[in-house]
Structures are given as C-alpha cells and as structure tokens.
Chains A and B, each alone.
Chain A
Amino acid sequence: MKTLVVVSHPKINDSQTQQFLLEGAKLQDVTWHHVEELKNIDVEKEQSLLKNHDRIIFQFPLYWYSAPSGLKHWEDEVLTRNFVYGDGDDNLGDKEFGIVVSTGMPLKDFCHGGSENVTIDEIMAPYFAIANRAKMKILPTFTIAQFQYMNESVQMQLLIDYQRYLTQTYPDNLKNRQEWFEREFADRFKDFNDINCNACETILDTFIQRKENIDQLKSTISLIKQGEDD
C-alpha cells in the first residue's frame, strides 16, 4: 500500500511539529508532498500522483478552523470536477482518505460546550465532503494537540501512532495493530544487527505466539457462542 501525505504549511521549516512528522514519514511507500514548495502546480502531474497512491492524507496546522491557504489553492487547481467525479472514472474511488491536523489548543476544547464549541470532525466537514464525493473511504482524523507541551515519552508514542496512521491497515483494531508491529519489528530487526540482539528473534516469536493465542481464544468463544445458540 502506498501513502501520499499532502502537507500544507507556509513556514514548514519553522514548525517543530511538521519537522517531527517529516522524520516519522520517512518510511518505505510513503511520499511526502509539500504543496507550498511547488513553484507551479502541474495539474496532470499532481493528479497522477494521487492516482498512484492508495491512501491520501491531508496534513496541516489548523488556521482559523481551516487549512492554510496553500492547501485550498492546491485543491482548487488539482481536484477538478472531471477528475473527482465528472468523467465517470472515479479516479479516487476506493482509495482511503485521512487528515492529520495539528493545533495549539487542547483537544478537550473541541467539543460542544468547550471553549471552541465545535468538534474537529465538524471543522473537517468540507474535506470529508470531497472524499465522499470522490467515493473514498474516510479514516478517522488524526489530531495532534499541543505538541509543544508533550514530554519525550508522549512524543515517542505520537511518532509511532503517526507511522501507523500512514501505513497500518484499517480499521485500527487489535488484529491490525499486532500485524503492523509484527511486520515492523521484523523489518527494523535488520537495523538491530549492529548491536548484540540475541533476544530479537525470541521477542518476535513470543509476540506472534501471543497473537495466535488471542486468535485461538476468540475462536473458542465463537464455538461456545454457537453452542449456546443451538
């Protein structure tokens, strides 16, 4: 699965959050695409970039309850009516669509009755509408609130959650999470060879064994339930 991260930030080099995410996005099959860096928008090139990826992510900081103007400009140029739905081709149909949004406000403020009095999902409604029109599958929004206040361990968790958001199979359930960690551990295992890691193989085997135990227990429960129905 290939993921395209369409990033919009007018001063990306000054943004700690975006630089942190940029490091996280350095993964196989992930393309980082910063729209403000494009001198001219080559519509055909941009459209083919979209077509060549399976998961499309819009990533931006929240500016007055919306994305920076760079993303709107890119959308207006690239997402032509014919490309999105007009020519009957469903160029984006069946692709996944997600949003990574950052805000300096606490997440708890984004609810009815909170200081913002609006939810993140409501603010993202125009993007969901586009994705819906394009027959894309919408992923839950990944919100990063107050990155500057996060301590190291929270940032570490955020980095991996973000990587999972970009590359893990959806829905985000236990099965898919375990498979992601299994695959990634095996991949990153190679990098562990420079240190003494006798335990790596045992760790992975034990992890897989526990995953299988969970599956086994689930199927036992399913059998018992069937018996109860009879």
Chain B
Amino acid sequence: MDDTGIWLNQQVDELSQKQKEYKNRAFLVAMKKMVEEQSKRLEQLQGEVDGRLWNHEQW
C-alpha cells in the first residue's frame, strides 16, 4: 500500500478505537476497507498509465 494509504488507514484505525458507539466503530472499520480499495485502485491505475506510456517503438 502507498504511504498516504498506510497513514490514512492508521488515522482511521485510531479514530475507530476511540469510538464508544458501535455504529461509529462499524463505519470506520468499513472505511478502512474503502481506503484499502482506493490504494489498490491507485496502484492499478498508475501501473496502467506506466504500461501504456511504455512504447517499444520509441526505443
């Protein structure tokens, strides 16, 4: 996972542990998964950009 993703996940995790209300904790647990999905998608898209920009005909 990228650095920002790791940092964001830690922040959400810390916030989640401070929550007394079940619903808030649940929301933040699910948000962590959302952040992980963002990271995966960012990595895939960056990979696709790199792959498409790499043009063997311009070697």
Cα separation A225 to B14 with both chains bound (whole Å): 41
Complex interface: chain A residues within 8 A of B42 (CB) = 210, 213-214, 217
Complex interface: chain A residues within 8 A of B7 (CB) = 206
With both chains docked as a complex, state the minimum distance between the C-beta of A128 and any C-beta of chain B, in angstroms.
Answer: 28
Q: A157-B29, A191-B24, A203-B8 are in contact. Are A197 and B45 (CB under 8 A)?
A: no
A211 at the B interface (CB under 8 A): yes
With both chains docked as a complex, state the minimum distance between the C-beta of A205 and any C-beta of chain B, in angstroms.
Answer: 10
B56 at the A interface (CB under 8 A): no
The chain A residue with its CB closest to the CB of B7 is A206
With both chains docked as a complex, state the minimum distance between the C-beta of B9 and any C-beta of chain A, in angstroms.
Answer: 10
Complex interface: chain B residues within 8 A of A161 (CB) = 30
> Binding site of A, secondary structure by majority: helix, strand, loop or mixed?
helix
Task: Identify A159's interface contact among B12, B14, B26, B41, CB under 8 A.
Answer: B26
- Chain B count of residues within 8 A CB distance of the other chain: 33
A-side interface size class: 35 or more
Complex interface: chain B residues within 8 A of A218 (CB) = 45
Complex interface: chain B residues within 8 A of A224 (CB) = 49, 52-53
Complex interface: chain A residues within 8 A of B37 (CB) = 174, 177
Complex interface: chain A residues within 8 A of B45 (CB) = 214, 217-218, 221
Cα separation A160 to B22 with both chains bound (whole Å): 11
| Pair A220/B26 contact, Cβ less than 8 Å | no
| Pair B29/A153 contact, Cβ less than 8 Å | yes
The chain B residue with its CB closest to the CB of A195 is B18
| Pair B27/A174 contact, Cβ less than 8 Å | no
- The 0/1 profile, CB within 8 Å of A marked 1, for residues 8-48 of chain B is 10011011001101111111011101110110011001101
| 16 cross-chain CB contacts under 8 A | A23-B23, A156-B29, A157-B26, A157-B33, A177-B37, A188-B24, A206-B8, A210-B38, A214-B41, A217-B42, A217-B45, A217-B49, A218-B45, A224-B52, A224-B53, A228-B52
Could you tell me which A residues sit within 8 Å of B by CB distance? 23-24, 153, 155-157, 159-161, 174, 177-178, 181, 184-185, 188, 191-192, 195-197, 199-200, 202-203, 206-207, 210-211, 213-214, 217-218, 220-221, 224-225, 228
